[in-house]
């Protein structure tokens, strides 16, 4: 058994142990098994990385022939290359930290073992998603993480609104998956295979703008819209915050929701061939980034703010992909994984300290009470706001520079979103950690810093949020862009089909100017937030008190209500119509009608059987006479007579 196969195997074993032994395995063993599985997986990833780095060649690890139908052969194989190895580091690395954090966070929960089993199953599915060497394995992981997301959002399923959130997430993702599935079918039609290497090699022979590639990339992107929460399939992600906070951090911030970006970067040859799809992606990303950021401005639930922020940041990643800056988009995946996991875990630590309170209007002044959480949360806030030299600054700035080159209007919108991001994040920070405490007396007495199993992950992630951006210095710093150099072989195909790929035309002075402008904007947003929430001590408004545009934003543009009217109600109506009108009234009426007809004939014929011979003879004579009269001279009469004559002779 090769090392590579061990990476997903550990979490699978962890899942089986904790899943099958649920309620029988003592708590003291559950956590070591769960965390150990993630850690072993991480260690194996490191080993595989060195194996891979030795010659830098893509490793294909076939495990077995999986499905053979007719001419189609789908192998079960893993692919280790630059892209998957980075994803592996994120998944197993951040995954291990979050498993560790869960040990403390979930310690009082009765579903402790179940929780670790699900988390391990998630890791397994997510690893399949990024390690598979063909689109079918990606799809299996894709749906697998959807299942785990469903199970974990609805983890506390005694609350029916949590169940609703879980169901909504699964069904919305299913809508996206449907696109992904059609994309897979189209790939088979076009290329006769699903193996990445073969598909991308064949694709290099096609010309730009190929119509079937456009369909393929578009359909696959529909899948990404679902999984990565883009317009119009994003409304599940904020609701998904019903799940325990470690789940929000791992699945709904750091890993699963970035699958869409992974998929596009993985298929970069196909996307480069289809500029129309890319343009579409860029605009969807822009609108999502802006829409979600504007909703986040007036949310009072600490996790909801972070959730909309995630949707918005995912939008930025797609903007990057849409303008063909694949590396920049993926760079943001990496830095976002650090700082957003940090922010969510920080939020979890706050919620833990606040006795399960999530409303920031009841918080305030927590800085002195939970110092580690507060300091690390501040680092995350700076990182996401794009202030140098923290991680978010580098990745976001790189995206914005590419957007500027691509389309100035799009850049302007992205800058607006960026301003809002810095504002709502500092609003969140100030309202939570500064000023006076606004909660109840009991909450205040109970305030405490979280145990070390929770703060260690915070500190590690804070460190990564500080230095994570250094893997990609901008060119103007005259320092290496390690990430771009590392990922470069992935884009050989894109370079082959589009000679323009990867060329930057911005002058250094423009780039300095852009960078200066975005830093200035973030600083202004910080200042405004400070002025409103610290200087003037403005209290967060009760959403029901808001009016005008603020109310629309706080109520999320009424999208949920609109979807209810546009989709949910019509489906309910249609199903009622199909059942009670067509099935019961139309089809069954016909079926029962045949039965009724038979019994009617039966009743009529019964009446004829009077038992009186005279009656029978009468009827017979009438009938014969009728036949004779009606068919006089016709064949029947002739025949009748000929038979009659023959018999009487």
Partner 1 sequence: MTDYLLSILIFLPLLAGFIVVLLPKSLEPKSKFIALAVSIINLLISIYLFRAFDGSATGYQFMEQKPWINLDLGNFGTFSIQYLLGVDGISLPMVLLAGIVMLAGAVSSMSIDRRPKAFYTFFLLLTSSIFGCFVSLDFFLFFLFFEFMLLPMYFLIGIWGGERREYAAMKFIIYTLVGSVFILVVMLAMGLSVNAPMNSETPTFTFDFRHLADAKNYISGSVLDQSSSIEWLGWPVRSILFILLLVGFGIKLPAVPFHTWLPDAHVEAPTSISVVLAGILLKVGGYGFLRIGIGFFPEEALNFAPWIAGLGVVSIIYGAFNAIAQDDLKKLIAYSSVSHMGFVFLGFAAFNNEGFNGAIYQMFSHGLLSSMLFLVVGVIYDRTHNRLIQNYRGLAGKMPLYTGAVIIAFFGSLGLPGISGFIGEFFSLLGGFSSPHLSKWFPSIAVLGIVLSAVYLLWALQRMFFGNFWVNRDLKDQMHDLNIKESILLYGLGALAILYGVWPALLLDVTNKSVEFFLQSIGQ
Binding site for partner 1 (CB under 8 A): 22-23, 65-72, 139-140, 143-144, 147, 150, 154, 157-160, 163-164, 166-167, 170-171, 174-175, 177-178, 181-182, 185-186, 188-189, 571-572, 574-576, 578-580, 582-583, 587-588, 591, 594-595
User: For residue 450, what is the DSSP state?
Assistant: P
Nearest in space to 518 (alpha carbons), one of 336, 387, 390: 387
Residue 620: CB minimum distance to partner 1, A = 31
Query: In this complex, which beta carbon is closest to partner 1, that of residue 512 or of residue 579?
Result: 579
The smaller minimum CB distance to partner 1, of residues 150 and 424, is found at 150
Q: Which is nearer to partner 1, 499 or 595 (CB)?
A: 595
Query: Cβ of residue 102: shortest distance to partner 1, in angstroms?
Result: 21
Kindly tell me the sign of the dihedral angle through the C-alpha atoms of 203, 207, 209, 212. Answer: negative
Minimum CB separation of residue 236 from partner 1 in Å reads 13
| C-alpha to C-alpha distance for 134 and 131, rounded to whole angstroms | 9
* Per-residue tokens: 438: 């606004």
Q: Between 6 and 140, whose beta carbon lies closer to partner 1?
A: 140
Alpha-carbon 464 to chain mean position: 24
At closest approach, how far in Å is the CB of 420 from partner 1?
33
User: In degrees rounded to 5, what are phi and psi of residue 611?
Assistant: 90, -5
Q: What is the CA radius of gyration of the chain?
A: 33
Residue number, 575 or 621, with CB nearest to partner 1: 575
Cβ proximity to partner 1: between 186 and 317 the closer is 186
Give dist(CA 93, CA 98) in Å, integer: 9
Distance in angstroms (rounded) separating the CA atoms of residues 149 and 99: 15
The least CB distance from residue 587 to partner 1, in Å, is: 5
**Cβ proximity to partner 1, 19 vs 451, nearer residue:** 19
Query: What are the backbone angles phi and psi of residue 447, rounded to the nearest 5°?
Result: -55, 130
Contact 429, 352 (CB under 8 A): no
Shortest CB 335 distance to partner 1, Å: 31
Computed from CA positions of residues 552, 554, 559, 561, in that sequence, does the dihedral angle turn out positive or negative? negative
Nearest to 135 by CA among 38, 234, 219: 219
Q: In sequence order, what are the residues at sequence separation of 6 or more whose Cβ sits closer than 8 angstroms to the Cβ of residue 453?
A: 100, 101, 103, 104
Q: Which strand (E) or helix (H) includes residue 157? A: none
| Minimal distance, residue 90 CB to partner 1, in Å | 23
Instruction: Tell me whether residue 43 or residue 140 sits nearer to partner 1 (CB atom).
Output: 140
Residue among 253, 287, 296 at smallest CA distance from 529: 296
Q: At its nearest, how many Å lie between partner 1 and the CB of residue 573?
A: 10
Sign of the dihedral defined by the CA atoms of residues 462, 467, 468, 469, in that order: positive
How far apart are CB 583 and partner 1 at their closest, in Å?
A: 6
* Closer of 566 and 619 to partner 1 (Cβ): 566
Q: Bridge-partner residues for 80, per DSSP?
A: 59
Residue 57 in tokens: 């060649």
Two tokens, residue 624: 């014969």
Report the residue number, 23 or 603, with the smaller CB distance to partner 1: 23
Paired tokens of 67:
């499905």
Q: Are residues 179 and 220 in contact, defined by beta-carbon separation less than 8 angstroms?
A: yes
Q: Tell me the closest approach of the beta carbon of residue 591 to partner 1, in angstroms.
A: 6
Cβ-based nearer residue to partner 1, 178 or 546: 178
C-alpha torsion sign, points 425, 430, 431, 433: positive
**CB-wise, 93 or 113, nearer to partner 1?**
113
Q: State the minimum distance, in angstroms, from the CB of residue 245 to partner 1.
A: 20
Q: Min. distance of Cβ 141 from partner 1 in angstroms? A: 9
Q: Is 75 helix (H, G, I), strand (E, B) or coil?
A: strand
Please tell me the distance from the alpha carbon of residue 137 to that of residue 92, in angstroms, as a whole number. 19
């Amino acid at each position: 058994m090769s090392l590579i196969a061990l990476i997903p195997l550990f979490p699978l074993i962890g899942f089986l142990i904790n899943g099958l032994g649920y309620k029988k395995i003592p708590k003291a063993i559950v956590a070591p098994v769960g965390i150990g599985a993630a850690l072993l997986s991480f260690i194996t990833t490191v080993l595989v990385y060195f194996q891979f780095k030795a010659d830098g060649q893509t490793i294909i690890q076939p495990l077995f022939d999986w499905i053979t139908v007719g001419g189609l052969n789908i192998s079960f194989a893993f692919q280790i290359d630059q892209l998957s190895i980075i994803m592996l580091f994120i998944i197993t690395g951040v995954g291990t930290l979050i498993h560790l954090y869960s040990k403390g966070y979930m310690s009082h929960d009765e579903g402790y073992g179940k929780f670790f089993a699900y988390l391990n199953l998630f890791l397994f599915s997510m690893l399949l998603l990024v390690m598979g060497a063909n689109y079918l394995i990606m799809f299996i992981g894709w749906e697998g993480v959807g299942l785990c997301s469903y199970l974990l959002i609805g983890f506390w399923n005694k609350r029916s609104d949590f169940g609703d959130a879980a169901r909504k997430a699964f069904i919305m993702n299913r809508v996206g998956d449907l696109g992904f599935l059609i994309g897979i079918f189209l790939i088979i039609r076009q290329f006769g295979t699903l193996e990445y290497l073969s598909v991308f090699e064949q694709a290099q022979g096609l010309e730009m703008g190929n119509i079937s590639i456009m369909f393929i990339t578009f359909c696959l992107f529909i899948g990404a819209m679902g999984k990565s929460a883009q317009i119009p399939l994003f409304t599940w992600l904020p609701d998904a915050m019903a799940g325990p906070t470690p789940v929000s951090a791992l699945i709904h911030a750091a890993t699963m929701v970035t699958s869409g970006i992974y998929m596009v970067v993985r298929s970069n040859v196909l996307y480069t061939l289809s500029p129309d799809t890319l343009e579409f992606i860029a605009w969807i990303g822009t609108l999502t980034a802006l829409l979600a950021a504007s909703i986040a401005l007036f949310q009072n639930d600490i996790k909801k703010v972070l959730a909309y922020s995630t949707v918005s940041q995912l939008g930025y990643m797609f903007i990057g992909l849409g303008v063909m800056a694949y590396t920049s988009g993926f760079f943001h995946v990496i830095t976002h994984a650090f700082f957003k996991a940090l922010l969510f875990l920080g939020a979890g630590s706050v919620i833990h300290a606040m006795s399960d309170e999530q409303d920031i209007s009841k918080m305030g002044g927590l800085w002195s009470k939970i110092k580690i959480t507060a300091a690390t949360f501040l680092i995350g806030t700076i990182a996401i706001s794009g202030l140098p030299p923290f991680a978010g600054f580098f990745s976001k700035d790189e995206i914005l520079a590419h957007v500027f080159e691509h389309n100035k209007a799009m850049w302007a919108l992205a800058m607006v979103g960026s301003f809002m991001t810095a504002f709502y994040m500092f609003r969140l920070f100030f309202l939570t950690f500064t000023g006076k405490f606004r909660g109840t007396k009991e909450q205040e007495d109970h305030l405490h810093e979280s145990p070390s199993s929770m703060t260690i992950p915070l500190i590690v992630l804070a460190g990564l949020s500080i230095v994570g951006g250094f893997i990609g210095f901008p060119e103007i710093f005259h320092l290496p862009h390690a990430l771009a150099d590392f990922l470069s072989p992935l884009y050989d195909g894109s370079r082959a089909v589009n000679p323009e790929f990867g060329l930057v035309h911005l002058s250094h002075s423009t780039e300095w100017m852009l960078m200066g402008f975005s830093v200035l904007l973030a600083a202004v947003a910080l200042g405004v937030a400070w002025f409103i929430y610290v200087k003037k001590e403005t209290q967060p408004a009760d959403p029901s008190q808001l009016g005008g545009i603020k109310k629309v934003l706080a109520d999320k543009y009424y999208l949920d209500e609109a979807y209810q009217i546009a989709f949910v109600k019509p489906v309910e109506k249609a199903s009622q119509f199909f059942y009670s009108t067509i099935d019961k009234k139309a089809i069954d009426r016909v079926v029962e009608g045949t039965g009724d007809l038979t019994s009617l004939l039966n009743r009529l014929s019964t009446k004829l059987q009077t038992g009186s011979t005279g009656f029978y003879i009468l009827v017979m004579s009438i009938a014969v006479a009728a036949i004779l009269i009606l068919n006089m001279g016709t064949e029947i009469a002739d025949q009748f007579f000929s038979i009659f004559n023959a018999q009487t002779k």
